[in-house]
Amino acid sequence: MKPLDPRLLREAGAARWFIAGVVALATLGVLSTLVIAWQLTRFVTSVFVSHIAPAEVIDALIWVASAGLVKAGALWLQEVWAARAACASRAELRGKYFAAILKLDVAGRTVEDSTAARHTLANRGLDSLDAYFAKYLPQLVFTALVTPIFVLVIWNVDWLSGVILVATMPLIPLFMVMIGWATRTVQQRQLNSLTRLSQHFIEVLRGLTTLKIFRREWAQVETLAKVGEEYRKRTMKVLSVSFLSGFALELAASLSVALIAVSIGFRLMDGSIALSTGLFILLLAPEAYLPLRMVGANFHAAAEGVQASGAVLDAIAAANHVGTVQADAVGGLEIPQPGKLTVLVGPSGSGKSTQLRRWRATLEPHEVAWMPQQTNLFSATVLTNIVGASDSKIGSFDPVKLERAMRLSALDDLDFDSEVGESGAAISGGQRQRIALARAVYRALARRSRFVLLDEPISSIDASRAQIVVEGLRALAREGFAVCAVSHQDLLAEAADLVIEIGKP
């Protein structure tokens, strides 16, 4: 992770003012700290060295208490604004990522770009970006601003302590950079292994029945223990490096404080400085290192989010280039004629579905009514799945066309308002397919989408209903739609006006 990722900074636009506010408040906090240190020193030296009665210098303590109040208030507001900064940036980025996923077609997915991987990125990954915007970024700006103030103040009061401060301070960023290099690959591995663990778990849960059929379910329990143990070892490895960096930073800071304290002690002994100077510096020295140390601490908290944001920003950038289909990349067969029922046949894996996708890609979206092979449904009612969420909510659909679409799809055994369950899990495969079909048909009827492209519309439908569907599709074609289906069923091929065989030499 770079200290400042320019791509992420651009995304932080929404949060700019909150971040500025956080920095301003933090500076106010530092000023209060200076007041507290100075007044406390005044109180202690007055009583201890000058033997003044405590009641006479009580104004110093009142100063301390008031500065504490200011510091507390600033800190409170700082926390609130930091959260706003994080929320604003994250919400914007997540929205863009979802939009990008919708643009990047399923066809364009790679193996690593699996559902689980996207899901982890969109949720856990982006959530962990909060640390970047809320903590790391403001802290970085604040540190750059405030550290020189501390150095100047301390230098003014006691130049030797100032020298120690200036000499030791660069150790902290130096350690950070070195450690950053060391942890980058481990961090990446950590995210990968987390994704793998979650992927493995989804698979096992989804395939639990299959596992039980082969009596392998208990073996999976053991495998999971092994994978989990592997994950633990990896994570511990990452942590041992991350914590080591924390250790180095803390050691550098606390040894520097010790160095300053001891040097002040010896100089007090030969009387070359006053106690007030020594005490003031002792109070300020840890505070001077604190901002830098916090950058280090937040750096690691932010790293996971930044790691995830890399993939997210890649996806967003990739989506910006999608949408222009190159003509030469399309290739293949000519687009089917309107008014005809065309059926693509051929053995499994011969590229029928690919051909259908190509056609879809060359057409304008509004011209196409599309039914993919994977009939995932939305966990909503049948109606919502057919006409879409927004139209079903406001009741803006054509009941006549809807009725026809359902009749054509032989959807006679489900009501409008039946729930289909998550991804359609509550209904049978045939019912899912018929709902997906009705969706495409309704779309064609309601929006006059001329091209009806169906990938395996009747593969899970029983024979009598399949007959109804085939006749319906023929009728649709006669009305001037270009109905084009990929099918393995003879029934559909026999009814076609045109059969295209794919995969024949």
Partner 1 sequence: MKIRSLLTLGLPRTTGFVIGILISVLQGLSAVALLATSAWLISRASEQPNIVFVSIAVVGVRAFAVGRAAFRYGERMVLHNAAFNLLTTYRPRLLASLIPFAPAAMSRDSRGQAVQRVVSDVDELQNLSLRVISPLVQSVIVSLIAAVFLALLSPAAGFALLVACLLAYMLAVPLATRLAQNSDSGVVIDRATLAERSLELIENAEVLAAYGWAEPALQELSEIEKRLVVKQKRSSITLGIVQGGFVLLGTWATCATAWFGANSVASGAQPGVLLAVFALLPMAVFDVLNGCQAVAQSWQRYRASAGRVLEILDAELPAEVPDEQSIAGVAKSGLSVFEKLEFIDIAARYPGAEQPVLSNLNFEIVAGQRILICGESGVGKSTIANLVLRFLEPSAGKLLFNGRNASDYSIESVRAIVGLIEQQPAIFSGTVRQNLWLAKPGASDDELVAVLQRVGLWSMLESRGGLDLFVGERAVLLSGGEAARLAMARALLAKFELLILDEPTASLDAATAQETLRELMLVAEQARVAVILISHDAAMASLTTSSVVVEKTRVA
- Binder of partner 1 out of 3, 4, 17, 65 (CB under 8 A): 65
Question: Which CB sits closer to partner 1, 150 or 328?
Answer: 150
Query: Binders of partner 1 among 113-142, rule CB under 8 A?
Result: 114-116, 118-120, 122-124, 127
What's the min distance (Å) between Cβ of 467 and partner 1?
Answer: 12
Q: Torsion angle of alpha carbons 15, 21, 27, 30, nearest 10°?
A: -90
Query: Binders of partner 1 among 186-205, rule CB under 8 A?
Result: 194, 197-199, 201-205
Question: Which CB sits closer to partner 1, 6 or 323?
Answer: 323
What's the min distance (Å) between Cβ of 1 and partner 1?
Answer: 21
- Binder of partner 1 out of 13, 163, 177, 212 (CB under 8 A): 212
Residue 21 identity: G
Tell me the three state secondary structure of residue 416: coil
Annotate each residue in 145-184 with x if it binds partner 1 (CB under 8 A) or - if it does not, as one string.
----------------------------------------
- Binder of partner 1 out of 14, 31, 87, 151 (CB under 8 A): 87
What's the min distance (Å) between Cβ of 2 and partner 1?
Answer: 26
Extended beta strands in 320-439, E state: 341-345, 368-371
Number of residues that bind partner 1 (CB under 8 A): 161
Secondary structure letter of residue 334 according to DSSP: P
Q: How big is the chain by its Cα radius of gyration, in Å?
A: 34
Tell me the three state secondary structure of residue 484: strand
Tell me the three state secondary structure of residue 377: coil
What's the min distance (Å) between Cβ of 445 and partner 1?
Answer: 14
Query: Binders of partner 1 among 455-484, rule CB under 8 A?
Result: 456, 459-465
Question: Which CB sits closer to partner 1, 340 or 443?
Answer: 443
Told to check if 316 binds partner 1 by CB under 8 A, we report: no
- Binder of partner 1 out of 12, 38, 84, 308 (CB under 8 A): 84
- Binder of partner 1 out of 26, 129, 264, 477 (CB under 8 A): 264
How far separated are the first and last CA of the chain, in Å rounded?
52
What's the min distance (Å) between Cβ of 63 and partner 1?
Answer: 10
Residue 61 near residue 78 (C-beta atoms within 8 A): no
Told to check if 250 binds partner 1 by CB under 8 A, we report: yes
What's the min distance (Å) between Cβ of 238 and partner 1?
Answer: 10
Residue 314 near residue 101 (C-beta atoms within 8 A): no
Secondary structure letter of residue 107 according to DSSP: G
Two tokens, residue 503: 């995969």
Told to check if 329 binds partner 1 by CB under 8 A, we report: no
Strand-pair category, 482-486 with 341-345: parallel
| Piece of 3-11, 154-162, 333-341, 386-394 that binds partner 1 (CB under 8 A) | 386-394
Extended beta strands in 228-288, E state: none
The Cα–Cα gap between 384 and 396 comes to 11
CB within 8 A of 139, min separation 6: which ones?
A: 291, 294, 295, 298
- Binder of partner 1 out of 6, 156, 181, 271 (CB under 8 A): 271
What's the min distance (Å) between Cβ of 464 and partner 1?
Answer: 8
- Binder of partner 1 out of 4, 144, 177, 232 (CB under 8 A): 232
User: How many other CB atoms are there within 10 angstroms of residue 200's CB atom?
Assistant: 17
Told to check if 243 binds partner 1 by CB under 8 A, we report: yes
Two tokens, residue 46: 């007055």
The Cα–Cα gap between 500 and 277 comes to 93
**What are the residues facing 370 on neighbouring strands?**
453
Secondary structure letter of residue 381 according to DSSP: B
Told to check if 266 binds partner 1 by CB under 8 A, we report: yes
Told to check if 221 binds partner 1 by CB under 8 A, we report: yes
What's the min distance (Å) between Cβ of 426 and partner 1?
Answer: 6
Question: Which CB sits closer to partner 1, 331 or 349?
Answer: 349
- Binder of partner 1 out of 428, 471, 478, 479 (CB under 8 A): 428
Told to check if 326 binds partner 1 by CB under 8 A, we report: no
- Each as own residue / partner, the long-range contacts of residues 46-55 (CB below 8 Å, 24 or more positions apart, any chain) are 48/275, 49/275, 49/276
The Cα–Cα gap between 6 and 10 comes to 6
Question: Which CB sits closer to partner 1, 32 or 143?
Answer: 32
Helix (DSSP H) and strand (DSSP E) numbers for the chain: 20, 5
Question: Which CB sits closer to partner 1, 247 or 478?
Answer: 247
Query: Binders of partner 1 among 39-58, rule CB under 8 A?
Result: 40, 43-44, 47-49, 51, 53-54, 58
The Cα–Cα gap between 83 and 148 comes to 27
Told to check if 103 binds partner 1 by CB under 8 A, we report: yes
